[in-house]
Amino acid sequence: MSKGNIHIIITLLALLVFIPGLGLTPLFDWDELNFAEAAREMVVSKNTAYVQIGYEPFWEKPPLFIWLQAAFLWLFGNHTWVYRLPNALAGIVTVNLAYHIGYYLGRRTLGIFWALAMAFSFAPLIYFKSGIIDPVFNLFIFLSVWHWYRITRCETENTRPHWHYFLVGLFIGLAVLTKGPVALLLLGLLVISITAYRGRWHDVFSTRIFIAAFGCALLVGLWILHLYYSLGAQFFDSFLAYQWELAKGQIPWHNQPWFYHVIVLFFLCFPAAGLALPYLFQRGEEDFGLESWHAVMRTLFWIVLIVFSLVTTKIIHYSSLCWFPLTYFAGYHTYLIHTNRGQNHWIQKVSLTLGALVLLGAMFVLPYLLSSTSIPHWIGQHLDAYTLGLLQNHETGTFTAFIPATMMVTLVFPWLIKNFMHNQWHPGKLLIAMGTVGLAAYYFLLPPMESLLQKELKQTVTTESAATPYVETQGFKSFALYFHGNVSPQKMKGPWLTDTFVLHRSQGKPYPKQEGKRIWIKDANHRENARLITKSSYVADAYFRYQFKLIDSQGAYFVWQRR
């Protein structure tokens, strides 16, 4: 079968996996809602120069991903699936890229198994159907890594590297426009490490490196010039200050121990992580023709893992670029078994069994909590008021939430058991089985989880936004208020913009809308129907209770009205 026909088959299968069900659950707060609200405001305000939240500059993210969401929003209207469509398309491109690279390396079957591992490992499958930035960001970084590898092969292939230099700069520029300068850091560390390992410094210290710089500056520079003309240096000062806060760990609820990403990758990138584990270290039985590519994949994995383990601020998807080397080595191991040139190592058997048991436990415990009408005392005594409010007031789930766990037992564990008895049991069957379980989790487990975590919040912010324009959250950060409340630019233009008390407290900032609105509701001298939404675990001091009366104290969220 020709390469083009296989790409068509892979694309059709990816369409069936990634596109259906994108609108199955409402957007999750707060990453998905953050970007979706920014895209909605971009369309409403017709301001595409920079990202906005509350119709004022949002310092944390460049605009490319928001541009993609806004473009689909403008084309198709305001639907949940629209905000997740960019990542689904990125997933389709990613699995085709995996096959393309395998074909280039001279092992078409390897490319097919890599695509299978990328599409059917648990976390990548779920995230390609999400509305967060990282899948698109990772794709652009990996494309720049791939073209840098092609640069190192040009002498052997007797080809000119100029076009690959330009594409390195172009794709890393797209990555910077997607999430920020961390893309340059990751690519720079990879290039330096690989160059030092091979001694090919002429690839770096060459005038052709300016071609890559031109490709990057062509994209990023045009946006920077336009933004500087619109806002001056304020955006960049605030953006870089926020990135520095992330690196130092100045956001407490994101701070995690150093081994956080090791645990996340091991269990959530199942089964790719377990299959890839032995290949993350040098192995003597490798294909000689793939040695240089394996060095790139290992280096990429360890650089990403080390960098994001050293950074204090940690979120699950920060290390998601590691999915590329993990799924590659999982595909490579499957390729070796398929061609009768390898066997399942004992460390793979143990790690796969451990990962499967933990996932199975989670898939049983979560539906149990969803279907339970009362929380056991031994669990409840360790939970705060907010978590108890969520668990005690949710709608009781149905038996369908147990379908993923049941499929895990019937599809995945038979392979694991047989794997202990047969050294060459085909991992491709495990990948297909886990992909089926992942889809079942997306369709049957994720909706009740979303309802548990967000239904009450959505109802509360929708109700209160309809009751009064003067409503904000207090004590927690959420984008649900603006998105589900369908906040318009006019609603952000209130008395807090001219109130002398607010201007004094905000120190004369030029964009005091969100901060000023919250200060005005909470502390300014007025008699408006103003309200604050807090979590039930919020500890209100005497001053707060003097200013506000509690008008809704049911569930996980409380509503307070200004006296």
- Tens of pLDDT, residue by residue over 274-292, are 999 999 987 655 666 788 8
Q: What is the pTM of this model?
A: 0.92
- Tens of pLDDT, residue by residue over 475-530, are 888 899 999 988 888 888 878 777 777 666 656 554 456 778 888 888 888 778 88
Q: Can you tell me the mean pLDDT for 378-404?
A: 75
Q: Can you tell me the mean pLDDT for 135-153?
A: 95
SS3 content of the chain, % helix, strand, coil (to 5): 70, 5, 25
Q: Can you tell me the mean pLDDT for 293-322?
A: 89
CB-side neighbour CA atoms (13 Å) of 133: 27
Which CB contacts under 8 angstroms, 24+ apart, belong to 143-150? 143/97, 143/167, 143/171, 144/168, 144/169, 144/171, 144/172, 144/175, 144/183, 144/187, 145/187, 145/190, 145/296, 145/300, 146/97, 146/101, 147/171, 148/187, 148/190, 148/191, 148/194, 149/292, 149/293, 149/296
At residue 379 the predicted structure's pLDDT band, cuts being 50, 70 and 90, is low
Has residue 388 got a pLDDT over 90? no
Has residue 329 got a pLDDT over 80? yes
Q: What is the chain's mean pLDDT, rounded?
A: 87
What pLDDT is attached to residue 505? 66
**The token pair that represents 538 in the structure block:** 């919020």
Cα distance between residue 238 and residue 251, in whole Å:
15
- Tens of pLDDT, residue by residue over 116-130, are 999 999 999 999 999
What pLDDT is attached to residue 511? 47
- The number of beta carbons lying within 10 Å of the beta carbon of residue 369 is 18
In terms of Cα–Cα distance, which of 545, 456, 455, 472 is closest to 513? 472
What pLDDT is attached to residue 4? 87
Which of 221-230, 236-245, 339-348, 406-415 has the highest average model confidence (pLDDT)?
A: 406-415
What pLDDT is attached to residue 384? 74
What pLDDT is attached to residue 188? 93
Has residue 413 got a pLDDT over 70? yes
Q: Can you tell me the mean pLDDT for 409-425?
A: 82
Has residue 221 got a pLDDT over 70? yes
What pLDDT is attached to residue 16? 95
At residue 371 the predicted structure's pLDDT band, cuts being 50, 70 and 90, is confident
Percent of the chain with pLDDT over 70: 89
What pLDDT is attached to residue 246? 60
- Tens of pLDDT, residue by residue over 458-473, are 999 999 888 888 999 9
Percent of the chain with pLDDT over 90: 48
Position with higher pLDDT, 39 vs 388: 39
What pLDDT is attached to residue 202? 80
Cα distance between residue 345 and residue 278, in whole Å:
8
What pLDDT is attached to residue 283? 61
Has residue 251 got a pLDDT over 60? no
What pLDDT is attached to residue 40? 96
In the sheet that holds 531-535, the strands lie side by side as: 471-473, 531-535, 557-562, 548-552
At residue 149 the predicted structure's pLDDT band, cuts being 50, 70 and 90, is very high
